[in-house]
Structure 1
């Protein structure tokens, strides 16, 4: 199988086209950020939704769970399609579908309808991952890490900023306004992507069942992907422990912060996202393994700083920044390596990797809640450090193993 592209009417082979312009990458980053935001806007709105739709606390909490479940399904079921369908058309279709399902949620007269709209919007929000893979395909080998980092920064910033923006919009017009505004922005993003996103033809010829089997077989057959997926899962699990436990810490003594203030403190993590370009430049220069090693060590160091931050906001902020830089560097260096494995299987590779990442994050969050109840902040720090130690160990194991070409099942 071979993948070809068309640029200004001229067919090109992978690696022959010019690197995408920075303006296009920033446009793609904004689009992916909007898509990712839909999975987080409900979190600060749960109380308003619960009162308006007369939901119990359990059903209201299921809105967040429904979003996570829908996104996981989308990673497995929809992202691989980018290897057999024009990614531009697939991304635009998914963005429009997400806008429509956000509209369903905005009009929801009851909890079940809201849950259905939430699951479906999360399912199609993986259009962001399709755009990330498209950025990797558009870039040359020498710029792929930076291209992916730029677009992925949109995904990560979208998740960080969504909660704050949703809270502000709900103050102006209620919780339904948040969904309507995002639906309108997603529709606009789809139109712009349709107009600006370059076309890349695909020649892979797989039926959908075979495509899914191929995706699932990647983790079994390709050792590089398997090790990188485990590294990503452990690092994101460690990072997710911080996201969960930090909320508990800041809400209690000695800080006793309200939810809006806790949300704003989370924006400290944006510093880590801004560091992705520097890590990507090193990865593009052939130092992806060294970047990953330094990143996992920084994750472990970050937990030592966070332990000291139990009663010090300064050490807490420094620790959060360290964890964010470490996690984003692990993510970018891993994607730089994985996207170079096989041009015709990038979406399947990304599907397998992102699903592993998501599972790790969910496990980390769940463990954090359990450990917090039993041992508080010191226990959470010990858990996060243990997971980071696991990530360091996997990195050392990965570095000691030779790289292999992938065995993509037809």
Structure 2
């Protein structure tokens, strides 16, 4: 056998086999690096707004459009993982997102950067192809643990993106951050092309059938509807907080810059590191109750923001609770939905994540609007209300279960 054939054969892993720690780590890192593209702008919004001479409320649209684009990309591209070889799809998307990031780095107007931000969202769907891939390749007995580990990379990427962009943007300017990100995506494309295993679909289906079946899955699976709506509300609250945090801490009583805004991402890593634990708990216990507990933790975070947000310790505790609750709920919900229809994990993830990021964009818009009218108390109220809706959905479904 030639060396090329040996390498090629080593890149085929059957579903249900144990994955190596190295491959799981690679997938986690890839998720973190790519999802970061969605969040680099948040600590830099005030700086970007000053570059284009627009208000805080106007520049908040950048974060909203990125998340809308992500939802569109999820709907268009992620289902393809159920009918096409995923490694090639990931490679092509990484090239596309690199070009989109260059568009942001070179933007000369608000319209230009808005379009480029939308395209970054559309093409940065790599993590949501990677997570179903990990679920497909993992043995059923360790699926929750593998998903939790890969998701921890994704979640840490979300949080550290803010830290990195705040530091780089503060030192070298916001355009430099997006140029660096474009180069990183090209390097990651080459690495995944070499080391990621090939993964072929578990069903044969046309794209038209694929898209039509998404509606059928929504109708068929009540758990999918519940998990998606809860995730949507939790992530909406998460986005409302992170989109407006930089505006809050730039003023009294903090008077911090973009670098410090980014450093709050490091605080949230403590919550994200609990993702593997949430995955292990999902393998051992009833995930619907883990979701309920996660909702309560998220609600508690907004109590801290509202009551103690003008104290640094209150913000810090709130950030830890927010990330712990949102990410713990995310892991438990994904473990629930991936067991519903193994041959349709890409489509299940599409429904789940499109819902999540559509309401993430709603949360960003509502957070920016509440900030413009009522400042921090308004942001806390918006986030808290979205979490209460999530809890009402969770409670209603538990009541329905008891009624049979």
Please tell me the TM-score bracket, short chain as reference.
Answer: 0.7 to 0.9
Q: 2:54 aligns with which of 31, 35, 57?
A: 57
Indicate conservation of the 8 Å contact 1:76/1:351, yes or no.
yes
Alignment of 1:21-36 (within 5 A): 21-36=20-35
CA distance, structure 2, for counterparts of residue 372 and residue 169 of structure 1: 26
C-alpha root-mean-square deviation of aligned residues, in Å?
Answer: 2.9
Match of 1:320 in 2: 319
Alignment of 1:286-301 (within 5 A): 286-301=285-300
Instruction: Please state whether the residue corresponding to 2:352 is helix, strand or coil.
Output: helix
CA distance, structure 2, for counterparts of residue 294 and residue 73 of structure 1: 30
Indicate conservation of the 8 Å contact 1:161/1:267, yes or no.
yes
Indicate conservation of the 8 Å contact 2:46/2:247, yes or no.
no
Match of 2:200 in 1: 201
Please state how far the C-alpha of 1:357 moved relative to its aligned partner: 0.9
Match of 1:333 in 2: 332
Please state how far the C-alpha of 1:129 moved relative to its aligned partner: 0.9
Please state how far the C-alpha of 1:270 moved relative to its aligned partner: 1.2
Aligned length: 393
Q: TM-score, normalised by structure 1?
A: 0.85
Please state how far the C-alpha of 1:71 moved relative to its aligned partner: 1.4
Please state how far the C-alpha of 1:343 moved relative to its aligned partner: 1.4
Please state how far the C-alpha of 1:9 moved relative to its aligned partner: 8.2
Please, which runs of 5 or more residues in structure 1 have no aligned partner? 1-5, 404-410
CA distance, structure 2, for counterparts of residue 142 and residue 111 of structure 1: 49
Match of 1:407 in 2: none
Match of 1:213 in 2: 212
Please state how far the C-alpha of 1:180 moved relative to its aligned partner: 3.2
Which deviations, in whole Å up to 9, do the C-alpha atoms of 1:145-190 show, x marking residues without a partner? 2212222222222222223323444466554433332222212212
Residues 1:308 and 2:313 aligned together = no
Please state how far the C-alpha of 1:205 moved relative to its aligned partner: 2.5
Indicate conservation of the 8 Å contact 1:86/1:202, yes or no.
yes
Please state how far the C-alpha of 1:242 moved relative to its aligned partner: 2.7
Match of 1:406 in 2: none
Residues 1:155 and 2:164 aligned together = no
Going from structure 1 to structure 2, the CA distance change for 1:379 and 1:223 (only over 3 Å counts) comes to: same
Going from structure 1 to structure 2, the CA distance change for 1:364 and 1:325 (only over 3 Å counts) comes to: same
CA distance, structure 1, for counterparts of residue 256 and residue 270 of structure 2: 22
Match of 1:360 in 2: 359
Indicate conservation of the 8 Å contact 2:238/2:360, yes or no.
yes
Moved more, 173-182 or 157-166: 173-182
Indicate conservation of the 8 Å contact 2:166/2:260, yes or no.
no
Name the structure where helix makes up a greater proportion of residues: 2
Q: TM-score, normalised by structure 2?
A: 0.86
